[in-house]
Amino acid sequence: MDTNWPQGLSKIFSICRQQNQPFGNRYYGPYDKLLNYCFGTNSFRFFVAPQHLPSELNARDAVDCIVFIVVFNEQCQPMLIAEIKDDGWAGRPDFRLAADEQIRRRYDSMMPECPLPRLWGLSLLGTSLRVYCGDVATGTLQPEYQARPDPNRILPRNFLEGSGIWTFCLRKALIR
């Protein structure tokens, strides 16, 4: 873990990650503590609150989204969103794509309420992190969405035609 975090916070994450508890119990406490640490526990300017799933999410999403936390200002406007899922999501490309799509839907519903120029978001798959930044004025979100498969990475239909490395590889594979 990063040595810049307080030792106690690092210890909480380490202990909770090793426990064989339901996922929501395993990570809610440590991330709640982390966000309260970052936004200051001695102030009433911000508060951290778990959120219910938006009604437009389907039943599969409701099961997949274990913890959704929002940091609000004192007027109950979103300042930061965090969606937290199990560690297993980090190793599966299809799960990472689903997590990306899900947090983008959250932005659609929460960005208009943000009083700041930008609404920051965290997609946490266990302790793996992807950071999002929504521009409130334009409604754009970074990083940009990339569908899978990425059209820029799809081979052309005729990639096996003619001479070249593809023909060589295909012939070699057929000979085996």
Total Cβ atoms within 10 A of residue 74: 10
Total Cβ atoms within 10 A of residue 154: 9
Number of domain units in the chain: 1
d(CA 103, CA 73): 20
For residue 63, tell me if it sits in a domain.
Answer: yes
Note the pLDDT tens digit of each residue in 118-163.
999 998 887 788 899 999 999 999 998 876 666 565 656 665 565 5
Give the pLDDT of residue 154.
60
For residue 88, tell me if it sits in a domain.
Answer: yes
For residue 132, tell me if it sits in a domain.
Answer: yes
For residue 113, tell me if it sits in a domain.
Answer: yes
Give the pLDDT of residue 139.
93
What CATH number does the domain containing 27 carry? 3.90.1570
Note the pLDDT tens digit of each residue in 6-59.
888 888 888 887 877 766 667 778 888 888 888 776 777 778 877 765 555 554
Would you say the pTM of this structure is higher than 0.75? no
Structural domain harbouring 63? 7-150
d(CA 9, CA 30): 7
For residue 159, tell me if it sits in a domain.
Answer: no
For residue 105, tell me if it sits in a domain.
Answer: yes
For residues 30 and 12, is the Cβ–Cβ distance under 8 A? yes
Mean pLDDT of the chain, nearest integer: 76
For residue 167, tell me if it sits in a domain.
Answer: no
Per-residue pLDDT band for 112 (boundaries 50, 70, 90) equals very high
